[in-house]
Amino acid sequence: MFLRAQPWRYCSRPQFTIIDTLDPFCRTRLSGILKIDFTDSLKFHVKKRQVQEAGGGVGDVYEVRVPLGECLDMKKYGPRIACGIALSVKEAEIAALMHVERILDTLGIPVYTMKSSQKKHAEKRRAMGLWAPLPDEAVGQPPVQILSPPPLRYNPTPPEPIPRHDATMRAPPPQFTLKAEAAAFVRRSGKYYVVVVGRDVGVFADKSLICVCATW
C-alpha cells in the first residue's frame, strides 16, 4: 500500500483512481495559477516502489508527491499533498499535477482565470462525475473540512492486438496499388483485361476499371 502518511485524514479514502490518459498542459496551467515553477524537479518528491503485478511478479512504479503547503494556506485548507503514480517519473509527475487540479476543484479554487474557461472546465468535470466550481460558485462548507480526492495512478490502456490471419478463414481479396502507367502492362485475354505490375496481378472485365484502380 502506498502513502501511509499523516495527510490521509484529509483524503476521502486511502486508495487510488486509475486514469488512462495524461494532461501534459496542466504543468503550465498550474504554474500560472499557483505561482509555482512546476518545471523545477525540486518541487516533486519521488519514491520508487515495488508492486505485485497481476501475473504474480513484482514490478517497479514511481510515486511522486507534491506538498501544497507552499501555495495553500494550511489553516484554511489543511496540509494537502497531491500524489501521482506511474511507470516513469515524468508520467508520475503529470499524474500528481492532475491530482493537484482535482484537489483545487474539490476545495472550490478555480484553475482558470477566465470565467469562460473555468465554466468549460467545470462542465467537463461534472460530465465525468467529478465536481469543479463554476465561476463565482462557493463550496458549502469550510475548506478545511473537505476531504481530498484519492491520488491518481496512471495505467495506460494497452494497444489492441493486431489480428492474426486465421488459415481457416477465407483469404482477403488482394489489394492493388497500380500506378497510372499501368495501362502499358495491359494484356487482352479473351473477354478480360489482365494487368501485371511487378507481383501485382489484376483482372478486369472492363478496361475503364483499370483507370479507376490506377488512382488508388
Q: What is the pLDDT of residue 187?
A: 59
**Single-letter amino acid, residue 83:** C
Q: Edge-to-edge strand order for the sheet containing 186-189? A: 186-189, 192-197, 200-204
How far apart are the C-alpha atoms of 31 and 38, rounded to whole Å?
A: 6
User: How many helices (H) and strands (E) would you count in the chain?
Assistant: 5, 8
Q: What is the pLDDT of residue 195?
A: 63
Per-residue pLDDT tens digits for 46-103: 999 877 666 666 678 899 999 998 889 888 998 899 999 999 999 999 999 999 999 9
Residues 6 or more apart from 48 whose CB is under 8 A from it? 60, 61, 62, 63
Show me where the domains of the chain are located.
Answer: 6-154, 180-214
Q: What is the pLDDT of residue 37?
A: 87
Q: What is the pLDDT of residue 216?
A: 39
Residues 49 and 60: beta-carbon distance below 8 Å:
yes
SS3 122: helix
pLDDT less than 70: residues of the chain:
1-14, 52-58, 159-216
Q: What is the pLDDT of residue 164?
A: 63
Q: What is the pLDDT of residue 192?
A: 59
Q: What is the pLDDT of residue 116?
A: 93
Closest by CA to 210, choosing from 193, 188, 190, is 193
